[in-house]
Amino acid sequence: MKILDANDRELMTVRAIERDGSTLVIRGKIFGAMPMVARLTPAQARAGLKLLDARMIWFLLTLLFRK
């Protein structure tokens, strides 16, 4: 999976999403060169969910079926 910036340049390539106990671990490379390991804790996941409203949740659910 690739995450792009506003100019369609590659910011990050995600190579793996894994579970480590109660933490979500995201492994990849930033700018195609620098290896990175990011951790998402349960508290941070809850904080992220507070950023979503009903319209954004609907968009995320339907995103997989869009062209």
**Is 32's pLDDT higher than 90?**
no
What pLDDT is recorded for position 52? 95
Q: What percent of the chain has pLDDT over 90?
A: 94
Domain count for the chain, please give it: 1
What pLDDT is recorded for position 4? 94
Domain coverage including residue 57: 2-63
Could you tell me if 25 and 37 are in contact, meaning their C-beta atoms sit under 8 angstroms apart? yes
What is the rounded average pLDDT of the residues 30-59? 94
22 CB neighbour count, 10 Å cutoff: 8
What is the Cα–Cα distance from 14 to 3, expressed in whole angstroms?
8
Chain CA centroid to CA 3, Å: 8
Entry pTM:
0.77
